[in-house]
Amino acid sequence: MKLANLSRSLLRSAAVAVVAFGMAGCATAPGSNEADVTVSDPLEIPNRFVFAVNETADILLIRPATEVYVGVVPDPLRQAVHNFIQNLLGPLYIANNLLQGDFEGAQVATGRFMTNTILGIGGLADVATEAGIGDRPEDFGQTLGVWGVGPGPYVVLPFLGPSNVRDTLGYGVDTLADPFRIGTNAAGADNAMYGRTAAAGLDRRSQLLREIDDLRKNSLDFYATARSLYAQQRRAAIANDIAPATPEFPDFDEPAKK
């Protein structure tokens, strides 16, 4: 029994770590660069320690597990997993669009959620995109930003990666308000929640294998790069300049072959 509990705990930690490194591969606003954003980081010393721990977890555990996932699971099945996970977040997207006063965004998010749930077999197929209904992901951290709440100091969370005070609070609210979490908790089906977390982490990390490798290899200070990219991505997401679910990474030139 203890072994089962330990395995479940490790699974949860590993899954959350994968999600964190999805966040670490943050998007940049088009045409921006690292120097464009000044980030308040009074906790830099402990932040760097936590960042190093997260990096170690990714290098030793998360990235190898993701490579196995990509190598074993066929592309169509991985895409179905991605679609399903994104669709489960639909109610949160709708709620946050409404809280931001973006009624058009809420209408689009509702249309997308209903279309994929009904016609996409519970969200396994992204019928909405094929029908021209765009993605409108919004989280409560963005909502707070729209309401005028500043980001506060930059923090690196254990297994949750780059964040700030505002987005940490937003993450907590989204977690508590997540209908899937509420439903599985009420049904006593905690394993379903852990399974979704693991699948979401592997899905997110699998989309960023090359990008994070490039950032590690080409950054003089990977910590500072991740910090700057995170701040840029969040500013852009709050301003609706770029969808947070579709990160844009700097392009690194391939080394010339001798």
Given a contact cutoff of 8 angstroms between Cβ atoms, the answer to whether 19 and 200 are in contact is yes
Q: What's the rounded Cα separation, in Å, for the pair 66 and 59?
A: 11
Banded model confidence at residue 38, pLDDT cuts 50, 70, 90: confident
Q: What's the rounded Cα separation, in Å, for the pair 17 and 162?
A: 11
26 pLDDT more than 90 = no
The residue segments making up the domain with residue 136 are 40-239
Q: What's the rounded Cα separation, in Å, for the pair 232 and 234?
A: 6
Residue 250 falls inside a structural domain? no
Average pLDDT of 68-72?
96
Banded model confidence at residue 228, pLDDT cuts 50, 70, 90: very high
Residue 166 falls inside a structural domain? yes
Residue 258 falls inside a structural domain? no
What is the pLDDT at residue 37? 60
5-20 per-residue burial string, b: 16 or more CB within 10 A, e: under 16: eeeeeebbebbbbbbb
Residue 246 falls inside a structural domain? no
144 pLDDT more than 80 = yes
The residue with greater pLDDT, 234 or 9, is: 234
DSSP per-residue string spanning 124-167: TS-HHHHTT-------HHHHHHHTT----SEEEETTTEEEEHHH
Average pLDDT of 41-47?
97
What is the pLDDT at residue 66? 96
Q: What value does the mean pLDDT of the chain take?
A: 84
What is the pLDDT at residue 159? 85
Residue 206 falls inside a structural domain? yes
Q: 233: which 2 tokens? A: 């991505």
Residue 5 falls inside a structural domain? no
What is the pLDDT at residue 244? 46
Average pLDDT of 199-218?
93
111 pLDDT more than 80 = yes
Q: What is the pLDDT of residues 209-225, one digit of tens each?
A: 999 999 999 999 999 99
21 pLDDT more than 60 = no
- Under DSSP, the state recorded for 60 is I
Banded model confidence at residue 113, pLDDT cuts 50, 70, 90: very high
Q: Looking at the 3D structure of the chain, how many domains does it have?
A: 1
Q: How many beta carbons lie within 10 A of that of residue 170, not counting itself?
A: 22
Residue 141 falls inside a structural domain? yes
Residue 14 falls inside a structural domain? no
First-residue to last-residue Cα distance in the chain: 57
What is the pLDDT at residue 160? 87
